[in-house]
Structure 1
Amino acid sequence: MKRGTTNYLEVYKKKYKKRYRKKNRLAKLDCYCERKIFDIIGKVETLAENMHNNRKSLKRVIYKRLCLPLFLISLIPFCGLIYPLFFNAIFGGTHCHKGCTKHNNNGAHYNKYYLSEISEVEWNQIEILNKVIIFSLIIIVLLILIYLLIKVIKYEKLKSGKGKMNIKEYCHFCKDIFI
């Protein structure tokens, strides 16, 4: 970017197509997502400028457009808790694995426990798969949130016209943005 221009963000947005053509696969995806995020932030800023007198409506619109989708995305890892709740693993199981030796037609064990069609080995494999899915979803959601924070910082950095910064200046800049 040239030093003589005052609005670095507009120049950065105008040169999008040129940058996009030069990049390959994953970099193109990053460039596309960055553009979408910058557009959303720009829309929120213009909305804030237009509704500067009505803060309650502004908050409602921002929560509806930004906070609700982010909140719903962050709830995705909790879908993995359906499995333990469904099979009462959290509150104490009332099922017995296939091939149980105590499960005959009479007795307290027969009346108290439900005989499942899944063997103990299969049950353990399902539990391991469930844990892998939960942890991978948590990592994916955290990476998405970190990516969004990085792009918000980049947007504010371009908007304010900051160039390269050392770590101390960068931390101070982030503190000014979020606090």
Structure 2
Amino acid sequence: MVADYLGNLFRLENTQRDYVSQVLDCMEARLSHRSSAYLDAIFTAEKVCKTVFDMALSKAPRPDGLPAGFYQNFWSTVGKNVTEGCLKCLQSGETVAYVNDTLVCLIPKVKKTIRMSEFRPISLCNVIYKIVATTLTNRLRNVIGEVTSEVHITFIPRRLITNTAIVGFECLHS
């Protein structure tokens, strides 16, 4: 019964489209036209290339076994194909199946592990996926302040999550 409810809730039939439109019509636009145009701009090969060369050489292994340093060192050979694949994902939203593959690995925190709590999970994403995600992140980073309230702390540059505790403490005193 719950599955039916959720399935129906997120199915976009004509009546639901009307509801979505009504909700969106009531919402105030927070993004300026300039920032909206910036976000909608076409991604360029230069941005993809910059993202690749800004990545750490061998921060963590990837499922395909190739770190970002491989792509940087052999950019003259693989750069064109990597750029085309990334731009295809960025421009059209299409992804190649293997690009989305991520392995979750458990790294031991201590020498002799006994409990699951003694492991730290990490995600091993493909470099192509990281290039696409980082390119999107770099673009969004420039406008995130416009759509984020002053009370939101996490993921905003120069705002610390510890500020939340300070604000809460100050509210108690006031």
TM range (shorter): under 0.3
Structure number with higher helix proportion: 1
Higher relative contact order (CA 8 A, sep 6+): 1
Structure with the bigger percentage of strand:
2
Highest CA radius of gyration, 1 or 2? 1
Scaled by the length of structure 2, the TM-score of the pair is: 0.27
